């Protein structure tokens, strides 16, 4: 079935923020070409029944950006989009983890292998915010922890936590498609992850909580996330521009003293321990 591809050129920092906002607003997939330069080309995929222009306006408004950017919308066959996604997706190798797609050759050796194909849910490890949380998980998990991934997307962070030895991993997303994709990816990686919508999340506290969303949703979720935390819970929040870090940290100040624990290309990771 064909799809609609929206395409526009803009500043790289804006493109990265907009990619998250488009996915939150309903885009099926987003890619950024030439992300190392001052300007990038952003492409977003939509179903033919969607309104890409309206979705772009909502996403730009949520990022605080002007809504009069020039863009194009084209109809593309599925195979063209898949080929483009495959050519742009590169494996990510960290200290303990290797993340790649099904067509990549995993390295020989002791790396923990996670396979995630680019698809209809966000999260392949290529975005700076995802890398920041993956580094946090590598540094934090030693085995046996109870982990909550709130806003799981493709399930990458939840699967990585399971690979790193977490005893229980629960993944939550408001998008039913993300829940389904997380379940599928967990099975493909032979790990156990409980993927649920927020209303189905059972009571309980977690040793580690991660959320890679956007700044305003993280602020709105402060009460819900801190309710799942106990004394000593490790919390990591991403999807936050460096300029937004103070506002997000303030929302959690009653239970966590969050500090910037990592930075990557204008994005910040906030982390702290429950008290």
Q: In tens digits, what is the pLDDT along the chain, a chain of 275 residues?
A: 577 888 888 887 788 788 888 888 888 777 777 655 677 888 888 888 889 999 999 888 887 777 778 899 988 765 444 445 444 567 888 889 999 887 778 888 778 999 887 654 455 556 788 899 999 999 999 999 999 999 998 899 999 999 999 999 999 998 888 899 899 999 999 999 999 999 999 989 999 999 998 888 899 999 999 999 999 999 999 988 888 899 999 999 989 999 999 998 788 999 999 98
Q: Are residues 203 and 247 in the same domain?
A: yes
What's the domain range around 184?
120-273
224 and 146: one domain? Answer: yes
Note the Cα 87 to chain centre separation in Å: 20
DSSP 151: S
Distance of alpha carbon 233 from alpha carbon 205, whole angstroms:
8
Measured in residues, the chain has a length of 275
Residues 80 and 144 in one domain: no
Instruction: Report the CATH number at residue 210.
Output: 3.40.50.150
Residue 103 in any domain: the answer is no
Residue 110 inside a domain? The answer is no
């Amino acid at each position: 079935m064909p799809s609609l591809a929206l395409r526009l050129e803009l500043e790289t920092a804006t493109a990265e923020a907009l990619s998250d906002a488009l996915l939150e607003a309903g885009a099926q997939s987003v890619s950024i070409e030439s992300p190392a330069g001052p300007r990038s080309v952003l492409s977003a995929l939509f179903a033919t029944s969607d309104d890409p222009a309206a979705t772009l306006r909502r996403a730009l408004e949520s990022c605080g950006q002007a809504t009069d950017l020039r863009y194009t919308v084209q109809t593309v066959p599925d195979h063209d989009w898949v080929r483009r996604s495959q050519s742009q997706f590169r494996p990510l190798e960290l200290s303990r983890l290797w993340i790649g797609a099904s067509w990549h050759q995993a390295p020989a050796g002791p790396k923990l292998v996670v396979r995630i194909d680019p698809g209809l849910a966000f999260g392949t490890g290529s975005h700076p915010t995802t890398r920041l949380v993956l580094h946090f998980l590598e540094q934090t998990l030693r085995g046996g922890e109870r982990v909550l991934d709130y806003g799981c997307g493709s399930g990458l962070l939840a699967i990585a936590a399971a690979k790193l030895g977490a005893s229980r991993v629960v993944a939550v997303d408001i998008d039913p498609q993300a829940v389904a994709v997380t379940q599928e990816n967990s099975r493909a990686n032979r790990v156990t992850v409980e993927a649920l919508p927020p209303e189905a999340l059972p009571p309980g506290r977690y040793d580690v909580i991660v959320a890679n969303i956007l700044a305003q949703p993280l602020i709105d979720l402060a009460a819900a996330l801190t309710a799942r935390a106990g004394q000593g819970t490790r919390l990591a929040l991403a999807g936050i521009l460096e300029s937004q870090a103070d506002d997000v940290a303030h929302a959690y100040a009653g239970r966590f003293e969050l500090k910037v624990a990592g930075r990557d290309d204008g994005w910040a990771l906030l982390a702290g321990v429950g008290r």
